Amino acid sequence: MDARLASTFVDVVQRQADVHGDREAFSYIRDMSDGQITDSLSYRELDAQARVVAGWLTKQGGSSGDRVLLCFPPGLDFIVGFFGCLYAGMVAVPAPMPEGFSSAEDRVGKIVRDAGINLALSDANGAPRLERWIADRLGTTLPCGPVRAMDSALAASLTVPEISPDTLALLQYTSGSTSDPKGVMITHRNLLANMRLISGCADGGPDSRALCWLPVIHDMGLIGQVLWMLFIGGCTTLTSPTEFLRRPYRWLQLLDELNADFSVAPNFAYDLCVRTVSEDKVPGLDLSRWRVTFNGAEPVQARSLAKFQEKFGPAGFRAETFLPCYGLAEATLLVTGTAADSRPVITTVDAEALARGEFVPVAAGDGPRELVGSGTVDRSRVRIVDAGTGAALPDARVGEVWVRGESVAQGYWGRPDLNAEVFDQSLDGETGFFRTGDLGVIHDGELYITGRLKEVLIIRGRNLYPHDLEQTVRSVDPRLATGAGAVLALDTPEGSVVAVQEIKPRGLTEDDYRALAQDIQRTLVREFSIPLPSVVFVGPGRVRKTTSGKIQRSLMKQLFVTSELNSLHEELTDALRAHLKND
């Protein structure tokens, strides 16, 4: 059976095992410095080991529809555990290992309670630790299975349950700015529909090879790099995000050494390569066989694409390799993407008109705002809507992006009231739309994402997008280039703007902080015609992000107002200082 005709993802794995047998499906590099493959899985091994896990889950008393917590260190064991859940007709619930950071422990605890977890899986070392943590921290006993250390005879006792396209496969937990994690309910039908959408952008196949480092517990890492490459019968080499962050140059080298033609990464990764790879190392790279690199999960910046192409073009990198895309967990992953082997669509627009909600192209260089297209729109699936009235908007008008189709999830687990607000919405007599909360515009058939509805800064009647201001702050001084930032609009005093920016404090004096803050203030006032902003410097890692790396601006606003930012230096306007003193 052709994987494209499969009705469940279990069918896909079994079909690929039949066709590709002992051919490598996944491999893992623990240390990018030497690039040695430390683990691998063939298609046949994945099928066999998934059956063992499914046998263990059913032997523990699990049944179809039970939720299984997946907490693994980086490696291939997660993939086996994930498909073991699917083979057993159970629901995979990926989460970070609850170790090292209190935020990870809090998140896992909330997921366990929200999902009503029945069983858990980890690797051989992690399983006993996870079981003890759940007992000690949550006061409950959950059997925790050691994937790839189970009795292989368990597979023989497995009776694969009836699995349909509408069987729930995955709870993909997202986190909003201040809210608890929400479990997006994704079925086999959703997964397969998204595989077809991704294939429509990048026509990979059995000869395709990917090198990826995104966390597999997140939607872009799991669906965009693991599931899609398996769907097309390709081969994927994985490594950890930490390895990439330590050695961005080795990512580029290994693409050549492994003859990889596909990869997936957010925008910051390309910036990091530009900043950290020295000019003398570029001639040692050969990126000519790198065919597709998906760029998504965070705003795609035209400047980032241009800088990467400028630096690595001499090494054979082509602008057509970039595949900017737009997606979200509630649509399984991909909504739109540009076509492989085509240049990204970049349009310079009038910034003032954009602030009024109008998309007005201008000559390149005449406007301060460049927008990167996220692909051609299928208007049966994607619409731009006035968030206030619920009416469809014409092209060239900015509004909320609404999406529908077989990739759109079934809702949030256990959130009927919220589901009624955002899922299965009606528009012009048509039903099934999901309100994304993202702002976008369609021009010449191309979708451009401009920001988040709830995070737009409304200043003097103009709509400004925080990521534009944050990017400008980072460009003020090289010492700010690598840190995250969050630009916030306060309710009181009216019109107050606060720029929170990470910086490494070593060697900086109060005079240095003050001079940097004043440079930021002058630049933001000049570039965006806003009132004098306040500036707050914090240490590295203090700007809060979601698990997928998006800035939690609402949470940062709350932490600022409650004086919980642990700031290194604050340069506040007189009005804001007086307000905080009297509050």
CA distances to 159, 263, 279, 309, 373 from 343, rounded to whole Å, are 49, 17, 25, 11, 10
- What is d(CA 569, CA 512) in angstroms, rounded to the nearest whole number? 10
Q: Which fold has domain 457-582?
A: GMP Synthetase; Chain A, domain 3 (3.30.300)
Q: Tens digits of per-residue pLDDT, 305-328?
A: 999 999 999 999 999 999 999 999
The predicted pLDDT at position 490 comes to 85
The predicted pLDDT at position 365 comes to 62
Of 3.40.190.10, 3.40.50.12780, 2.60.40.10, 3.60.20.30, the CATH number of 3-321 is 3.40.50.12780
Q: Tens digits of per-residue pLDDT, 524-561?
A: 988 888 889 999 999 999 999 876 677 888 889 889 98
- What is d(CA 541, CA 503) in angstroms, rounded to the nearest whole number? 9
Task: Tell whether the model's pLDDT for residue 178 goes beyond 50.
Answer: no
Which whole number is the average pLDDT over 300-307? 92
The predicted pLDDT at position 548 comes to 64
Structure pTM?
0.87
Q: Tens digits of per-residue pLDDT, 265-295?
A: 999 899 999 999 999 999 999 999 999 999 9
Handedness of CA 220, 222, 225, 230 (dihedral sign): negative
Q: Tens digits of per-residue pLDDT, 210-227?
A: 999 999 999 999 999 999
Q: Which fold has domain 345-404+418-454?
A: Luciferase; domain 3 (2.30.38)
The predicted pLDDT at position 95 comes to 95
Q: At what angle do helices 267-276 and 302-312 cross, to 10 degrees?
A: 40
Provide CB contacts within 8 A for 483, sequence distance 6+.
474, 501, 502, 503, 504, 540, 543
Yes or no: say if 323 and 202 are a contact pair by the CB < 8 Å rule: yes
Which whole number is the average pLDDT over 191-220? 94
Q: Where in the chain is the domain with CATH 2.30.38.10?
A: 345-404+418-454
Yes or no: say if 93 and 183 are a contact pair by the CB < 8 Å rule: yes
The predicted pLDDT at position 570 comes to 94
User: How many other CB atoms are found less than 10 A from the CB of residue 289?
Assistant: 14
Which whole number is the average pLDDT over 230-234? 97
Task: Kindly give the pairing relationship between strand 67-71 and strand 37-42.
Answer: unpaired
CA distances to 70, 308, 515, 517, 523 from 477, rounded to whole Å, are 42, 20, 11, 10, 11
Return the DSSP state at 555: H
Which whole number is the average pLDDT over 368-389? 92
Q: What is the mean pLDDT of the chain?
A: 92
Return the DSSP state at 205: -
Task: Tell whether the model's pLDDT for residue 135 goes beyond 90.
Answer: yes
- What is d(CA 301, CA 334) in angstroms, rounded to the nearest whole number? 18
The DSSP result for 292-317, as a single string, is EEEE-SSPPPHHHHHHHHHHHGGGT-
Which whole number is the average pLDDT over 475-488? 92
Task: Tell whether the model's pLDDT for residue 177 goes beyond 90.
Answer: no
Q: At what angle do helices 9-20 and 77-87 cross, to 10 degrees?
A: 120
Task: Tell whether the model's pLDDT for residue 15 goes beyond 50.
Answer: yes
Which whole number is the average pLDDT over 43-50? 98
The predicted pLDDT at position 551 comes to 86
The DSSP result for 116-161, as a single string, is T--EEEE-TTHHHHHHHHHHHHHS----EEETTSS-GGGGGG--PP
- What is d(CA 282, CA 360) in angstroms, rounded to the nearest whole number? 38
Q: Tens digits of per-residue pLDDT, 136-173?
A: 999 999 999 999 999 999 998 888 899 999 999 999 99
Yes or no: say if 423 and 190 are a contact pair by the CB < 8 Å rule: no
pLDDT band at residue 581 under the 50/70/90 scheme: confident
Identify each DSSP E strand in 345-496 by its residue range. Answer: 346-349, 369-376, 382-385, 399-403, 425-427, 430-443, 446-452, 457-459, 462-464, 485-489
The predicted pLDDT at position 103 comes to 74
The predicted pLDDT at position 156 comes to 87
3 state DSSP class of 96: coil
The predicted pLDDT at position 366 comes to 56
- What is d(CA 457, CA 451) in angstroms, rounded to the nearest whole number? 10
Name the token pair of 320: 């057509």
The predicted pLDDT at position 486 comes to 94
Q: Where in the chain is the domain with CATH 3.40.50.12780?
A: 3-321
Which helix (H) or strand (E) segment is 561 a member of? helix 553-561
Q: Where in the chain is the domain with CATH 3.30.300.30?
A: 457-582
